[in-house]
Structure 1
Amino acid sequence: MKATVVWEPSEDGLGFEGEMDNGRKLKLDGNGKNLSPMEAVLISVGACSSVDVVEIMRKSRQDMHGCYCELDAERAESAPRKFTKIHAHFVVQGNNINEKHLARAVQLSTEKYCSVMLMLTGNVNVTTSFEVQEK
């Protein structure tokens, strides 16, 4: 996997475009027009772990109709302003969802499969919770 990040000179001067070697692109900046790099990391935590949760729940033959992850993060007060805490709350919507399957899916994602979360291990206090919403 390879990527290139290019500065896009402008009046505010903090825009960047990242491009993967397969041509997919993402705009980031430090002035609020696009996601900041830290916002992108936080969203990546939720997306990566949600992929795992959905895949594991599907393999468990759970009747899911929706899944979302609410993230709450805290950052250090001074530079480097890294994340100190992230809480990921998973909400799974469906019929007759087995909470034991969901608890296991969240645990497996957090401890074994989510590469983004696992990269943060030892540096960020990551906690999780979940709930089921019957549809």
Structure 2
Amino acid sequence: MSHKITTHWKGGLTFESDNPSGKSVIMDTDIEGQNERFGLSPKAMMLSSLAGCSGLDVISTLDKMKEEIDDFKIEVSGELTDEHPKYYHSVVVDYHFYGSDLNKKKCERAVNLSVDKYCGVMEMFRRFAEIKTNIIYHIATKR
């Protein structure tokens, strides 16, 4: 399977990129003397892609396991190299699960399946970055 996208310059340092889904995204960067941003940073979008890819895996796995959670979020932080071309040399992925009756074994299994087997973006990141993952449980008390 191959994907093809088209990225179109919109003036200044702003670009619009399409996606095989039919949706598009605006990208730009910090510009000295300009406070307004119109889009997302291309490098940070890579971190979002990692979280999105892994999150899709985790939620679909939990659905198959019939495991219900109240909420879920992924925080990803990346450290860039000092020299150009700057790239992420280390990445930390924090998986946050929320609920009053979380099955930690199932949550951990879902994360591990994503990290070790299913997430292609995670595999791409492994080619150039050290990746650390953490699972954090937020247990809500029942009233």
Normalising by structure 1, we get a TM-score of 0.90
Establish whether residue 120 from structure 1 lines up as the match of residue 122 from structure 2.
no
**Percent same amino acid at aligned positions?**
28
Candidates 90, 95, 100, aligned match of 2:95: 90
**Is the CA contact (8 Å cut-off) linking 1:17 and 1:25 kept in structure 2?**
yes
The list of structure 1 runs, each at least 4 consecutive aligned residues, that deviate by more than 2 angstroms after superposition, is: 20-23
For the residues of structure 1 that align with 2:45 and 2:29, how far apart are their CA atoms? 12
TM superposition score normalised by structure 2 = 0.85
CA spacing shift, 1:2–1:62, aligned 2, 3 Å: same
Question: Structure 2: how far apart are the matches of 1:104 and 1:79?
Answer: 38
Aligned length: 132
* Superposed counterparts of 1:1-135, under 5 Å: 1-9=3-11, 13-31=12-30, 33=37, 34-135=39-140
RMSD: 1.5
Does the 8 Å contact 1:72/1:86 carry over to 2? yes
Spell out, residue by residue over 1:2-26, the C-alpha distance to the aligned partner (whole angstroms, 9 max, x if none). Answer: 21001112xxx21100012453110
Structure 1 spans left out of the alignment, 5+ residues = none
Measured in 1, the distance between the counterparts of 2:27 and 2:110 equals 31
Which protein has the bigger strand share?
1
